[in-house]
Amino acid sequence: MRNERPGISHLLEQQQLIHGGLRYLEHYEFGLVKKALAERELLLKNAPHIMWPLRFRLPHRPHLRPAWMIRAGLFLYDHLARRERLPGSCAIRFDQNSPLQPYLNRGFEYSDGWVDDARLVVLCAMAARNQGAEIATRTRCIRAQRHQGLWYITLQDTATGAQQQCRSRVLVNAAGPWASRLFAETIPLPAPQQLRLVKGSHIVVPRLHDGPEAYMLQNEDRRIVFVLPYLDRFSLIGTTDVDYEGDPAEVQISEREVDYLCTLVNDHFKRQISPADVVWRYSGVRPLISNEGGEAQQASRDYRFELDAPANDAPLLSVFGGKLTTYRLLAEAATSALCRFFPEAGPPWTHHAVLPGGNFHSPPRLAAALQRHYPWLPAALQQRLVRSYGTLCHRFLHGCEQLDDLGEAFGAGLYQKEVDYLMEQEWARTVDDILWRRSKLGLELQDEERARLQRYLQTRLTNNSVR
């Protein structure tokens, strides 16, 4: 398993999709799907560098879901919310050139969106910083208690162990899979909700098909697995739905999950895979609103707030559940719930707020602009910078007149200027920060190249040359 590396993601969604959730219609979550579809359209407009349209193909297996059911679901998917940027659904036929097994000759096609989820998290933090927020990475809240109308909060630097105290007029618990546990460990109050933790795991293998489309596969257990084009040369396969009871920080994909994903892919695709083909694997934990029993894939992906606001005391707002696509809507609803405690607060504004780097018309136009300004940029590097940074790439390209001006080359198109930018502006400190959390270049760099990057980072940190 060459270059295989485990990875962990704790985002609400790990499939790197901006989508309404076609399969949620099957569980009658029409309200959630409508909200998510509206947000999908909005996010494609406000972050064109890290989100873009993706066409999905759904092979038809009539013994699992009849055609009329899929057509009805796709009709609702096309019309539950206003759609401006994405084409509607249609029926399709697969011919002998299809990458699918010969028995799959009919299907459906519809639209959703792709997102670089790790970049989304960083850009949201940068947007908050631009509005005056202080971002404290690698910091744990170890104690929070009310006193005389304020929250007194103890923070700990996870690298040094140093502690500091701060005061706040309000506390928001948006700890994802730790939101319920925080009450037992940090906040001396009973937890108002218990979360159902569900593990979702993915594998990455060499590209299964040449086309730009993604595939949505149905399994006999009625679960859904996506096969997504990934970084030109790979396919991303996932996700699983497995109840999880351990520490979210320790979640790992099991061999059983790897076998499950490989088997489902082999049932559908001509190109067969095995665990030996996996070049990367990772797992995440979804913090879902707890329900009574039922299969994990049937648990709601919606969110819920709990506001604890005793008279004359500092309020506490806790967020439970949620999905990546509705992150902006959730944040807007959360802050709106707190506005009554802050009469000076203004109206909501994020609906039209472009994320940092997204202030351009379209990726092709931005690529053309980069070609004019930096004609020496290799085409592959240019494309990656457009898709990762948008106009933010000017921050480290400005003043460069040739490739050598980007500094030391670490491999796979990663240069010193970009590394410096990530350390100074995007809180990167480790090799994993750069190769897996700010990019996915960990799939490309060799061991010697990683070691050289590690030495460079250590030198900069030792010399305290990172602002």
pLDDT for 295 equals 66
pLDDT at site 467: 59
Q: How far apart are CA 380 and CA 430, in angstroms?
A: 24
- Position 382 in a domain: yes
Determine, yes or no, domain membership for 383: yes
What is the average per-residue pLDDT within 352-367? 96
Position 157 in a domain:
no
Query: Is a pLDDT exceeding 60 seen at residue 1?
Result: no
397-412 per-position pLDDT tens digit: 999 999 999 999 999 9
What was the pLDDT predicted at 9? 40
In this prediction, residue 302 carries a pLDDT of 84
pLDDT band at 227 (very low <50, low <70, confident <90, very high): very high
- Tell me the three-class secondary structure of the chain, residue by residue: CCCCCEEEECCCCCCCEECCCHHHHHHCCHHHHHHHHHHHHHHHHHCCCCEEEEEEEEECCCCCCCHHHHHHHHHHHHHCCCCCCCCCCEEEECCCCCCECCCCCEEEEEEEEEECHHHHHHHHHHHHHHCCCCCCCCEEEEEEEEECCEEEEEEEECCCCCEEEEEECCEEECCHHHCCHHHHHCCCCCCCCCEEEEEEEEEEEECCCCCCCEEEEECCCCCEEEEEEECCCEEEEECCCEECCCCHHHCCCCHHHHHHHHHHHHHHECCCCCHHHCCEEEEEEEEEECCCCCCHHHCCCCEEEEEECCCCCCCEEEEEECCHHHHHHHHHHHHHHHHHHCCCCCCCCHHHCCCCCCCCCCHHHHHHHHHHHCCCCCHHHHHHHHHHHHHHHHHHHCCCCCHHHHCCEEECCEEHHHHHHHHHHCCCCCHHHHHHHCCCHHHCCCHHHHHHHHHHHHHHHHCCCCC
User: Is 60 exceeded by the pLDDT of residue 11?
Assistant: no
Check the CA dihedral 403-405-410-416 and report its sign: negative
CATH at 420: 1.10.8.870
Mean residue pLDDT of the chain comes to 92
- Position 210 in a domain: no
Percent of the chain's residues with pLDDT above 70: 94
Q: Is residue 399 part of a domain?
A: yes
Query: What pLDDT, on the 0 to 100 scale, is given for residue 465?
Result: 63
pLDDT tens track for 285-309 = 999 987 655 566 666 778 899 999 9
Residue 378 maps to a domain: yes
Q: Which pLDDT belongs to residue 14?
A: 47
pLDDT per residue as tens digits for the range 42-67: 999 999 999 999 999 999 999 999 99
pLDDT above 80 for 2? no
Residue 16's pLDDT band (boundaries 50, 70, 90)? confident
pLDDT at position 15 is: 55
* Domain membership of residue 393 as a residue range: 363-462
For 151-189, the pLDDT digits (tens) are 999 999 999 999 999 999 999 999 999 999 999 999 999
87 part of a folded domain:
no
pLDDT classification of 27: cutoffs 50, 70, 90:
confident
pLDDT at 436 over 80: yes
Note whether residue 114 is domain-resident: no
Which of 297 and 254 is assigned the larger pLDDT? Answer: 254
The number of domains in the chain is 1
Q: Could you tell me the pLDDT band of residue 338, with boundaries at 50, 70 and 90?
A: very high
Mind listing the pLDDT tens digit for each residue in 387-396? 999 999 999 9
Does the pLDDT of residue 142 top 50, yes or no? yes
